[in-house]
Amino acid sequence: MHKLPLHFAIWTLLALSAACAHEARVELKSQPFGQLPDGRPVELFTLSNEGGVTLQVMSYGGIVTSVKMPDRKGVEADVVLGFSSLPAYLKGHPYFGCITGRVANRIAGAHFSLEGREYRLAANNSKHHLHGGVRGFDKQLWSAVQFRDERGAGVVLTRRSVDGEESYPGNLDCEVLYRLTTDNDFEIEYTAVSDRTTLVNLTHHSYFNLGGRETGSVLDHDLMLRARRYTPVDGDGIPNGTVATVAGTPFDFSDYNRLGARIDQVEGGYDINYALDSEGRGCELAAVLLHQKSGRSVEVWTDQPGLQLYTGNFLDGTLSDGTAVYTKHAGVCLEAQRFPDAPHQPHFPTTVLRKGDVYRQRTVYKFRVR
């Protein structure tokens, strides 16, 4: 297998920036966004294109803080949940808009075995491990390099997750590329290499509300998932090891269905992994979220085998930003991923990254108006 140097993407994009800056129709600017408690500065990057999409991302956690887009009448709204200031993020939040890792989703019992060695992880979700632990990738400061190319503009975020961070083995060097294109696509490309065999499962964790973050509920959204199977879970959200058909269940979104139509049949709301029909063979359409009233939609394209549907079940109104109050079901997450608890389910797509191999993932959120 051909191995690319980890920083290949950055240097290639810098070269493209010089050659193509005059062609790009996506504006890119940066500004200070406060400081961490230890004094390190956080940057906020604003990307905007001629299609009316404006996306903001900060170097802390790789968090997408805002995505503004027009409706069919041209009225703009912010369609992701977030905050307008850094201190609100530092106080704690339910993974709004972040890079989630080193391993997204749950690992049962907060432990795993790898190459004959047992690893104990932080139990930060009852007795289980969730989204990389107490200080996962969402709570880390990333280095950022801006770029422009023939498709748009964006930011490449990099960091080293050191050997033993949150008890995971290996020094893991990560790059996450964010690009806003001239076609209103938000592209995310992940790359990682490790000097020891380890686990990796990265995802993006934006909460979408296509009516606008201040409208309070996504239960009036329609969803289509190209997934005829899902992974049933126990009361703690841990897969039971089966891959079941969605037919005849409230988890069936194989055709467009209202999020709120059957949610009362699912205890607490949706928080479930789907086995995509594409099985991770290429970057294919996985889901479409549609808000009929505004005409806004977002398509999810990914090369991952799974997608987590989460309907903001634990939002309780204690978090807010201006006129936006984040109550239960105020946003919906569509997280492209490998399956949860894969270390304990050998028949699931693996999250093991061997020493010297390259982890790659590509997911695209396409913002459209109907």
**What are the percentages of helix, strand and coil residues in the chain, rounded to 5?**
10, 45, 50
Structure tokens at 32: 């200070």
Task: Considering only CA atoms, give the Rg of the chain.
Answer: 19
- The predicted model gives 173-198 an average pLDDT of 98
Task: Give the integer Cα–Cα distance in Å for 219 and 12.
Answer: 43
- Residue tagged active-site, from 43, 175, 299, 335: 335
CA 34 to chain CA centroid, nearest Å? 23
- Residue tagged active-site, from 93, 205, 221, 329: 205
Q: Which residue has the tokens 């109550």?
A: 327
- Give, in order, the Cα–Cα distances in Å from 363 to each of 156, 176, 307, 327, 366: 15, 11, 11, 28, 10
- The predicted model gives 245-271 an average pLDDT of 98
Structure tokens at 332: 């919906």
Residue 114 has a CB neighbour count (10 Å cut-off) of 16
Please report which helix (H) or strand (E) contains residue 181, including its range.
strand 172-181
Is the distance from CB of 349 to CB of 302 less than 8 angstroms?
Answer: no
Task: Give the integer Cα–Cα distance in Å for 10 and 212.
Answer: 34
Question: Does residue 272 register a pLDDT over 50?
Answer: yes
Is-catalytic flag, 7?
A: no
Nearest 5 degrees, angle CA 241-CA 242-CA 247?
A: 150
Beta 284-290 vs 172-181: how paired, if at all? unpaired
Task: Give the integer Cα–Cα distance in Å for 127 and 120.
Answer: 12
Is the distance from CB of 128 to CB of 3 less than 8 angstroms?
Answer: no
Question: pLDDT at position 6, please?
Answer: 52
369 class by beta-carbon count within 10 Å (0-12 exposed, 13-18 middle, 19+ buried): middle
Among residues 139, 134, 93, which one has the least CA distance to residue 315? 93
| Torsion sign across C-alpha atoms 131, 136, 140, 142 | negative
Task: Give the integer Cα–Cα distance in Å for 365 and 336.
Answer: 11
Average pLDDT value for the chain: 94
Spelled out in words, what is the top-level CATH class assigned to the domain 8-369? Answer: mainly beta
SS3 155: strand
Question: pLDDT at position 151, please?
Answer: 94
Q: What's the pLDDT tens digit per position in 76-112?
A: 999 999 999 999 999 999 999 999 999 999 999 999 9
Task: Give the integer Cα–Cα distance in Å for 97 and 65.
Answer: 6
Q: What's the pLDDT tens digit per position in 24-76?
A: 589 999 999 999 999 999 999 999 999 999 999 999 999 999 999 999 999 99
Question: Does residue 20 register a pLDDT over 80?
Answer: no
Ordered by start, the domain boundaries in the chain are 8-369
Is-catalytic flag, 284?
A: no
Q: What's the pLDDT tens digit per position in 280-309?
A: 999 999 999 999 999 999 999 999 999 999
